[in-house]
A and B are shown apart, each in its own frame.
Chain A
Amino acid sequence: MEAAITQNLVEVEDVEFRYDLRPVLKGIHMRFPRGKVLAIMGLSGCGKTTTLRLIAGQLKPTRGSVRIAGRPVHTLDQSELYTLRRRMGMLFQFGALFTDMSVYDNVAFQLREHTALPEAIVRDLVLMKLNAVGLRGAHRLMPSELSGGMARRVALARAIALDPMLIMYDEPFAGLDPISLGVIGNLIRRLNDALGATSIVVTHDVQESLKIVDYVYFMSEGVVVAQGTPDEIRASGEDYVRQFVHGQMDGPVPFHFAGRSYPSDLRLERALG
C-alpha cells in the first residue's frame, strides 16, 4: 500500500496513554509538517517525553494513532519498525554515546552496521558529519574525554549519520553552558534545513527553543494546553503559557507544595482563637 504523501510527516491523533492504571496522556492531537522544527514544551511529568517515545515507536498508545509518513507506527512488527528507524535519528538527553568506542567509531557505527560502504567512504562521511558539528578534529577522542557540550554535539553527528528524515531531540539543552546552548540551538536549525528533515525538540528551555523553532506545542498534565508560532506563544494570554515563558513564580503551577495552612502548621490557630 502506498504511503500517502501528506504535508505532515508525523501525525499524532487522539492519543491516550496509560502507564499501568495511571493516565499519562489524555487525548493529544499534534501535527508535524515536513521540513519544520517543532518544540514540545512543558514541565517535567507533563507527558512530553512519553509523546516522543510514542512517535519513536518505543511505546504503544492505548488509544488513538501515531502515523509517520502515513503509516501507523504502533502496528509495525519489529523488522518493519527497524526499517523505519533507519530513517530516524534521536539525540538523547546526555548524549548516550557508546563509551567503549571513540568519537569516530560512534559516528561510524550506523554506517558500518546498516550499509556495506567501504571504509574509505565511511571515513569521508564520518568526518563530514563531525565537521558539520565542528568536532572533526576531535575524532580520535573517547567519550570520557569530552565535555558535556562536546559529547552532545558528537551524539548529534551520530544521529544524522544516515541523513534521517525525522530527528528527535530529548532535552538537548539540559545542563549546557551558554555558548554550548547557542551552538546546539544553531545546529538543530541548520541541520534540519540542510537535510530537509523534520525535527521535534522536547524541552523546557523556553528562550533557546523559541529562537529556533517554527511551531510550539505546550503540554500540561497529559493534554495540549496551547500551541502556536513563537511570536504567538510569547504574546499568549494563556495563564500557564505566560507563567512558563516568563518564568513567573506563581500561577497555574503553584509555588507552595500542597499541604496544611501556614497558621495551622505553626500551631497559631488556637492562639489566634
Chain B
Amino acid sequence: MDSVLLRALRHIGHRVIDGVWRLGYASRFFALVLLRSGPSFRRFPLTIREIYYAGVLSLIIILVSGLFVGMVLGLQGYDTLQRFGSEEAVGTLVALSLVRELGPVVAALLFASRAGSAMTAEIGLMKATEQITALDMMAIDPIARIVGPRFWAGVISMPLLAALFSAMGIFGGYLIAVVLLGVDAGAFWSQMQASVDLQEDVMNGVIKSIVFGVAVTAIALFEGYDAPPTAEGVSGATTRTVVTSSLAVLALDFVLTAFMFRGT
C-alpha cells in the first residue's frame, strides 16, 4: 500500500536523479561541441551564416529595447535624483546601470527568447525529420557541422548585441534627460565620463555578456538536440530553452556581479 507521501517522495527523487543525469549528459554534449569546434573556424562561412541568423536578425529587438530601457532609466532616474538636487547625475545612473547590468542581462534574455528558441526549434525539427541522422549516415558529424557554428555564432554575437543595447540605452537616456527634461548636456556627459570606468565597468560588462552568450547558446543547442522527435517535443524544448536560459543568466549575473563589484 503506497501512501501518498511515499509516492510523492519517490516522484521527487526520480525527478532529481533525472535532472542530475540530464545535467551530466548536457555537460558531455557541451564538451563535445567544444572539442569538435575546428570546422566552425576552418569553414568560417558556416559560422558567418549563423551569425546572420542569430545576431543580425536580433538587431531590431535589441536596438528598440535598448532605446526604451534607456529612456525609462532617464525618466525614473531624473524623477528620483531631482529630489536630492542631483539630477545632473542622471547620466551616471543611466550609463552605469546599462553598462554594468542591464546591457548584458537584458540583451541576453532577449537573445535567449529570439535567437535561442529559434535555434532550439531548428535543431529539434531537424532531429524530428531525421535530417540529423541523415547527416550521421552520410559520415558527417552533426555536432561539428550543425551545432558548432551555431554555438560560436552565439558567443560572438552576444557581446556585440550587449554593447549595442547599452549604447542605444545611453542615447535614449540622453534623449529624455537632456533633450526632453533639460538636464545640461555637458553635465550629463561629464559626470558620466567621470564615473564610468573602462576596466571596472565596461570590460566587466563585456565579460558578463560573453559568459551569458556561452550559457544561453549552449542551453538552446542542447535542448534542441535532446528534444523528443515529435511536434510536442520540439515545442516543449523551445519553452524550456527560454526558461532555463533566463534563469541561468540571472543566476550567473549574481555570481559574476558578486565577484566583480565587491566593495566598489
Contact = CB atoms under 8 A, between A and B. Distances in A.
Interface in B120-155: 129-131, 133-134, 136-141
Interface stretch (A62-70, A82-90, A263-271): A82-90
Interface in A152-192: none
Contact of B133 (A83, A86, A92, A114): A92
A85 B131 CA distance: 16
B137 A56 contact: yes
B143 to A, nearest CB: 11
A109 B131 contact: no
Nearest to B137: A90
A252 to B, nearest CB: 31
Kindly name the residue among B130, B134, B140, B141 whose own CB sees the greatest number of chain A CB atoms within 10 A. B134
Interface string A85-100: 1101010111011110
Contacts of A92: 130, 133-134
A113 interface: yes
Contacts of A94: 129-130
Contacts of A109: 138
A98 B129 CA distance: 9
Nearest to A90: B137
Interface string A107-127: 001100110000000000000
B138 A85 contact: yes
A83 B137 contact: no
A90 B129 contact: no
Most buried by B among A56, A81, A92: A92
A114 B139 contact: yes
A83 B138 contact: no
Nearest to A155: B134
A265 B141 CA distance: 55
A117 to B, nearest CB: 16
A83 B134 contact: no
B134 A113 contact: no
Contacts of B133: 58, 92, 96
B210 to A, nearest CB: 28
A113 B130 CA distance: 19
Main SS class of interface, B: loop
A25 B140 CA distance: 28
Contacts of B139: 81-83, 85-86, 114
Nearest to B130: A96
Contacts of B141: 78, 82
Contacts of A56: 137
Contacts of B140: 113
A31 B212 CA distance: 54
Contacts of B129: 94, 96, 99
A22 to B, nearest CB: 18
Contacts of B131: 96-99
A4 B31 CA distance: 38
Contacts of A85: 137-139
Contacts of A97: 131
Nearest to B140: A113
A109 B145 CA distance: 12
A83 B133 CA distance: 16
The residue in B133, B136, B138 that gathers the most chain A C-beta atoms within 10 A of its C-beta is B138
A110 B130 contact: no
B130 A93 contact: yes
A90 B139 CA distance: 11
Contacts of B130: 92-94, 96
Interface in B99-134: 129-131, 133-134
A97 B125 CA distance: 12
Contacts of B138: 85-86, 109-110, 113-114
A78 B141 CA distance: 9
Nearest to A82: B139
Interface string B222-243: 0000000000000000000000
A54 B133 CA distance: 14
B109 to A, nearest CB: 27
B56 to A, nearest CB: 17
A88 B136 CA distance: 11
Contacts of A114: 138-139
Nearest to A168: B137
A93 B139 CA distance: 19
Contacts of A96: 129-131, 133-134
Contacts of A99: 129, 131
23 contacts: A56-B137, A58-B137, A78-B141, A85-B137, A85-B138, A85-B139, A86-B138, A86-B139, A88-B137, A90-B134, A92-B133, A93-B130, A94-B129, A96-B133, A96-B134, A97-B131, A98-B131, A98-B134, A99-B129, A99-B131, A109-B138, A113-B138, A114-B138
- Ranked 5 nearest A-B pairs via Cβ: A82-B139, A96-B130, A85-B139, A96-B134, A90-B137
